Amino acid sequence: GGERARRRMEGAGREAPPRPRPRGGSPRQSGAKPRAGQRGGEPAEPGTARVFSLFLYLFLPCARCVFGVRYLGSGYTKAVYRALLNGSRAVALKAVDFGGHDVAGCVRQFAALGDCYRLAAYKLVKEMVLLQRLRHRNVLQLYGYCYQDSNDIPDTLTTITELGSPLEMIQLLQTSWEDRFRICLSLVRLLHYLAHSPLGSVTLLDFRPRQFVIVDGELKVTDLDDASIEESSCTSNSDCFMEFPARNFTLPCSVEGRCQNMNEKRNLYNAYRFFFTYLLPHSAPSSLRPLLDKIVNATGELHWGIDETAAQLERVLNLYKSGEYLQNTTRIPKTEYKRVPEAFIPDENYRCWPSYHHKGCLLSVFDVNEAMEICDSYSQCKAFVLTNQTTWTGRQLVFFKMASNPIVPDPDKITYVKVTG
């Protein structure tokens, strides 16, 4: 209460306050590092029940704008919560986890909660400032922040950000190539922006899938507390040594005494080893495989910088969206099909992989001819149904069926049935 309990809700577009002494967090949902002993799948509670009640106390004065606070997960420094902002928008709340590794270890050693809090909160403040300065569609959006006294610590900070879903690589491997390509394209667009950002070339020192989330199918970086804009200084090429688990690189030392493009190349190689090798070539259209393999190999050897990599991925996107990738394939259907407008086959599903529907074979196609080619390639396919739904690239979603009965009226669909005999 009183002056000590002052509270400020600021818009993300305003500059960071001059004296940030926070209380912050970045979670599993927002890419926090899992705490030791935490089970995979279910997040551990942040320390103790006392810590959780402390968080609720923190947000009690903000009840007019934040509702339904629910714990999501923790890392070494931060905890993340889900809440509703102004009763409608789902957001992520990040705050320093008082029971987390950083604060708890510091308190055990120095017995100074306030100082230990401020030390840990530096990461949250740094991340908040970077989220304000780095505005890009693949950077998590900062909606605001609030300060308020708590637990005898002045100006504890909570940030309010866009809410994303954790990036689960196992689940991604089971999705369509088109969706996996979108993740890689999002990442490359992000890295291109970071290489040319208003702050200079930004590198993500803690570059792992858990530092990213998915929002509406797009990849977004959420954890920026380990980002750096410092290019390593050097006196010779040997000072520009980058070490990774599988291999190492030595970059040139510039006449200005800086390792050339080290931030950019570090990001790019991490993108290769964590994302490209798993997501790009697997189950891609056969005519795109040579170009995709070239991209993977060039980034794995660091033959390309981010500019060339981004240009090549945009080329893949254009080939895919325009249908040019089909030009070297046979476009004459092997089988004759009967067109049945305003009709749908409700049953007769079979499973294929990868599919947009877990109980049926739902794929995207460029045009009707490609749908016919796909149906011809499946021995069990006897018909297919064009829907009025499209993917992020504008391709049409099509259900493939193993029989054509019964056919029912549906004004939004067109059915094609194989002609036999």
In three-state form (DSSP H/G/I as H, E/B as E, the rest C), the secondary structure along 211-258 is HEEEECCEEEECCCCCEECCCCECCCHHHCEEECCCCEEECCECCCCE
Please tell me the pTM assigned to this model: 0.82
Q: Give the pLDDT band of residue 5 (cuts 50, 70, 90).
A: very low
Q: Any idea which of 60-74, 148-162, 227-241, 357-371 has the lowest mean pLDDT?
A: 60-74
When pLDDT is averaged across residues 371-394 and rounded to a whole number, the result is 94
DSSP code of residue 41: S
The values of phi and psi at residue 369, to 5°, are -60, -40
Q: What is the pLDDT of residue 151?
A: 65
Both tokens of 284, joined, read: 């891609």
Task: Indicate whether 6 pLDDT > 50.
Answer: no
Q: Give the pLDDT band of residue 329 (cuts 50, 70, 90).
A: low
When pLDDT is averaged across residues 410-419 and rounded to a whole number, the result is 95
Q: Give the pLDDT band of residue 87 (cuts 50, 70, 90).
A: confident
When pLDDT is averaged across residues 287-292 and rounded to a whole number, the result is 96
Q: What is the pLDDT of residue 376?
A: 92
Choice among 97, 149, 179, 206 that is catalytic: 206
Task: Note whether 324 and 318 are within 8 A (CB).
Answer: yes
Q: Any idea which of 226-240, 273-287, 327-341 has the lowest mean pLDDT?
A: 327-341
Q: What is the pLDDT of residue 303?
A: 96
The overall average pLDDT reported for the chain is 84
Note if 206 is an active site residue: yes
Task: Indicate whether 97 pLDDT > 80.
Answer: yes
From CA 30, how far away is CA 161, in angstroms rounded? Answer: 9
Which residue's entry shows tokens 């409608």? Answer: 88
DSSP 3-state assignment of 1? coil
187, 188, 194, 186: which is closest to 261 by C-alpha? Answer: 194
Domains of the chain plus CATH, in order, are 3-163 (3.30.200.20), 166-326 (1.10.510.10), 337-418 (3.50.4.10)
Q: What is the pLDDT of residue 215?
A: 96
From CA 244, how far away is CA 299, in angstroms rounded? Answer: 14
When pLDDT is averaged across residues 185-195 and rounded to a whole number, the result is 98
Residues 6+ positions from 219 with CB-CB distance below 8 Å: 138, 167, 182, 183, 186, 187, 190, 212, 213
Share of the chain above pLDDT 90, in %: 61
When pLDDT is averaged across residues 238-252 and rounded to a whole number, the result is 95
When pLDDT is averaged across residues 344-363 and rounded to a whole number, the result is 89
